[in-house]
């Protein structure tokens, strides 16, 4: 069986999903993915100065329009290790930033970006693809990349604590989403993996504990 946290496995998975990922996120979350993205970015202090903003695991650039609105005079950077995601997101970078965004195709856990370079770091819905050891490495990278007075914000889906909600949640993610993947994409296996990642991730609390030890 494949190690689902192996970077090469994760990269191949997201390469395959790159043409549909944004659309499927919107459909399967009933549009709430947009609301959640707006909300987690609003936790950051609004700034009009010329700061540097880095979007990690940037995918198809789903955060970028909200970041641009929050930080209109910032320099923007993005990092993702899926070649297909990066290639497709460049088109969005052209529209939103008129090509004034640097997009890096690299592994966030072993990246070569400069230390203490960024004022803001964001990341949406990528934590579930890491095991605890990798989350520890991620926290160390965030600490290294942030300026001393910098801010970061992450968002991820946690397992509902209520047993009835969890049953409905697991049925939807485990059964309905793969069917939607089959209907829209002709492939249900890739979207079954998202349920497996979410199930194993369980809660953001362990991430919070790891980050508090390091940052």
- Highest mean pLDDT pick, 6-20, 132-146, 169-183: 132-146
Q: What is the pLDDT of residues 125-155, one digit of tens each?
A: 999 999 999 999 999 999 999 999 999 999 9
- More confident of the two residues 21 and 205: 205
pLDDT for 198: 84
Average pLDDT over residues 107-115: 96
For residue 26, give both structure tokens. Answer: 């919107």
Residue 53: CB atoms within 10 A of its CB come to 25
- Token pair 């790159």 in the structure block, residue: 18
pLDDT for 47: 92
- Token pair 């939807």 in the structure block, residue: 172
Residue 21 contacts residue 88 (beta carbons within 8 Å)? no
The two most distant CA atoms of the chain are separated, in Å, by: 49
pLDDT for 188: 64
CA–CA separation, 193 vs 57, rounded Å? Answer: 17
Average pLDDT over residues 200-213: 92
Q: What is the pLDDT of residues 78-107, one digit of tens each?
A: 999 999 999 999 989 999 988 889 999 999
pLDDT(10) > 90: yes
| Residues in a beta bridge with 77 | 54, 102
How far from the centroid of its chain's Cα atoms is residue 37's Cα? Answer: 10
Q: What is the pLDDT of residues 24-83, one digit of tens each?
A: 777 767 778 899 999 999 999 999 999 999 999 999 999 999 999 999 999 999 999 999
pLDDT(19) > 70: yes
pLDDT for 76: 97
pLDDT for 194: 80
Residue 144: CB atoms within 10 A of its CB come to 14
């Amino acid at each position: 069986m494949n190690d689902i946290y192996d970077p090469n496995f994760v990269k191949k998975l997201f390469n395959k999903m790159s043409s549909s990922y944004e659309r499927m996120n919107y459909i399967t979350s009933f549009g709430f993915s947009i609301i959640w993205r707006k909300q987690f970015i609003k936790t950051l202090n609004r700034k009009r100065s010329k700061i540097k903003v880095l979007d990690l695991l940037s995918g198809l650039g789903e955060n970028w329009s909200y970041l641009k609105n929050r930080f209109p005079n910032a320099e923007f950077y993005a990092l993702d290790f899926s070649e297909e995601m990066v290639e497709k997101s460049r088109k969005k970078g052209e529209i939103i930033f008129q090509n004034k965004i640097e997009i890096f195709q690299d592994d966030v856990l072993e990246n070569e970006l400069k230390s203490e370079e960024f004022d803001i770091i964001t990341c949406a819905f990528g934590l579930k693809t890491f095991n605890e050891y990798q989350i520890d490495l991620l926290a160390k990278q965030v600490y290294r990349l942030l300026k001393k007075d910098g801010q970061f914000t992450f968002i991820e889906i946690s397992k509902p604590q209520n047993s009835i909600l969890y049953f409905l949640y697991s049925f939807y993610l485990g059964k309905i989403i793969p069917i939607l993947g089959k209907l829209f994409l002709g492939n249900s296996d890739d979207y079954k993996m998202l349920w497996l990642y979410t199930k194993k991730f369980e809660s953001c609390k362990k991430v919070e504990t790891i980050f508090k030890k390091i940052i």
